[in-house]
Amino acid sequence: MQSIVLNDTYEIKTPFGWKDFKGIVKHSDKKSIKLKFNNNLTIISSPNHLFKNIDSELIEAKNCLNQTLITENGELIICIEIKETDSRDLFDILEIDGSEHLFYSNGLISHNCNLANEYFRSVYPTISASKTSKIVITSTPNGDSNIFYRLCQGAINHENGWVYDTVIWSDVPGRNEKWKQETMATMDSAEAFAQEFEAVFISSKSTFVNEELIQSLKQKAKDPLYIFEDGKYKIWEEPNENNIYVAGVDTSEGIGLDSSEINIVDITNLQDIRQVATYSNNSIPPYDFATKVYEILQQWGCPLALIERNNQGTVVVDNLYNRYGYENIVSWGSSLFNRKNIQLGIISHANIKNKAVNLMRYLLTESQVVSINNLETLEEFRNFIRYPNGTWAARRGDKYHDDKVMSLIWSLFILNEEIITSYFEVKQRDRNGIPLRIEKFDNGINYFTNTQKSSEIQHYNTNNKVNDVFLMNPGDATNNINTEWNWLYTYGE
């Protein structure tokens, strides 16, 4: 038996601040268990009560043994004992606003009850018992912390036997782009339009960028000038030896899941940072990817490269340096881990990654000085979220990745204070100390090495003939292409 006391007076503390909630649910004479933690904290709850662990997973209380949870104060504690106790009255919080249904109980993150969840759990066994019954659920998306979202994601990933379909604004006869723009202007929110008319689940987690900025960046994105290797390699601008380029590299296992990524970014003008080329491949082994990185970096004048060293990145960094003699590898992070020898590449850790993410977020959302041309990168940003433990990553699910995002983030980590001053003279900063104008040192650093006539480039050009696409009018090629870089036009011939 349960009863509900409604609330319109009090707030409850959550990982997202103090929030309104609709009431308190009392469950009478309910089975309960006692959890004991290694800091002597004890909690009595129902066996199915949900706690959030350090990996941001929701774990039922009965399965919490040996699980690590994080307290409100940031302390990591481990559940060391679970015992059954006498049945008793238990209480839960009903429908907390804007908090992913999360709240603090005894200093731990708990997940409150949801009436839709309870109703679905109660009726689904009965309906599904029939061989002829069908269940159809229709709804407008409303966040990603509810049963409708979980059912939809399960259907999309073919995990739960449900079938998923959408009806969006363009499916309605008579609606065109003009109607979309007028409606979006009336609603005064691209995010609200995306949810109400495009069936987009707007995350209730802390998202990297809002929908308005995503739409703005999409409108500014350009079509690539050149597309090579079945779309893996895209170029938006021709290399210019007078410009300053940096490369961000993120490496995967090459087994068809995550992708290995290269982002080439023009930072000549820090108030107009532009993504000028990308390479993406989810099936290239790390050893071969090192060769690909070397080849593409040569085409862009051998720029400074920021390569995450962790895991498979070690293969790329070490081969790039030892096998090809590539010297412009930015190395940072060794001293933070008290390593005696400086290791090449970026040694990533949660704190270092957060530094890089926060810098990118500032440049993209606060200063708004970054132009992103790759639409797939923008889509990854839409699903790049911060979890309650403070880490940033793609939302969970096989269809979500953050490789494009992270390679772009690593490229602009060059503007980190401890890195930028090692390679450039900072001539001007903004009010928050972020570089606004840089100049090259005259101390022997090769910011741009013209290698377009080298045997490596010629070999590369003549051996990549896979469905190359040239989006430039061939008749304009002579006038539009810098003659020193005319290999771009003959790439793949």
Structural domain includes residue 256: yes
The position carrying tokens 């907390």 is 96
Residue type (1 letter), 336: L
Query: Within this chain, do residues 316 and 461 fall inside the same structural domain, yes or no?
Result: yes
Residues 277 and 182 both lie in one domain: no
| 256 and 328 part of one domain | yes
Q: Which domain holds residue 68?
A: 2-119
246 and 380 housed in the same domain: yes
- Rounded CA-CA distance 24/264 in Å is 53
Domain shared by 425 and 460, yes or no: yes
Q: What residue type is 458 in one-letter code?
A: Q
Q: Is pLDDT above 80 for 391?
A: no
Give the closest residue to 267 by CA, choosing from 439, 442, 452. 439
Q: How many domains does the chain have?
A: 3
| Mean pLDDT, rounded, of the chain | 82
Question: Does residue 126 belong to any structural domain of this protein?
Answer: no
Is the pLDDT reported for residue 476 higher than 50? no
Do 315 and 463 fall into the same domain? yes
Tell me, yes or no, whether 391 lies in a domain: yes
| 106 & 247 share domain | no
Q: Is residue 95 part of a domain?
A: yes
315 and 187 in a common domain: no
Q: How far is CA 338 from CA 219, 253, 334, 342, 349, in A?
A: 45, 28, 6, 10, 13
Assess whether pLDDT exceeds 60 at residue 477.
no
Q: Does residue 183 form part of some domain?
A: yes
Is 50 a member of any domain?
yes
Stretch 107-135: mean pLDDT, rounded?
73
Which CATH number characterizes residue 105's domain?
A: 2.170.16.10
Between 470 and 442, the higher pLDDT residue: 442
Q: pLDDT for 252-303, tens place per residue? A: 998 988 999 999 999 999 999 999 999 999 999 999 999 999 999 999 999 9
Cβ atoms within 10 A of the Cβ of 133, count? 9
* Residue of 360, 344, 334 whose CA lies nearest to 414: 360
Same domain, 167 and 56: no
217 & 193 share domain:
no
Burial class of residue 102 in the structure, from the number of CB atoms within 10 Å of its CB (0-12 exposed, 13-18 middle, 19+ buried): buried
Residue 338 has pLDDT above 80, yes or no: no
- Do residues 193 and 212 share a domain? no
Taking the C-alpha atoms of residue 371 and residue 408, their distance in angstroms, rounded to an integer, is 11
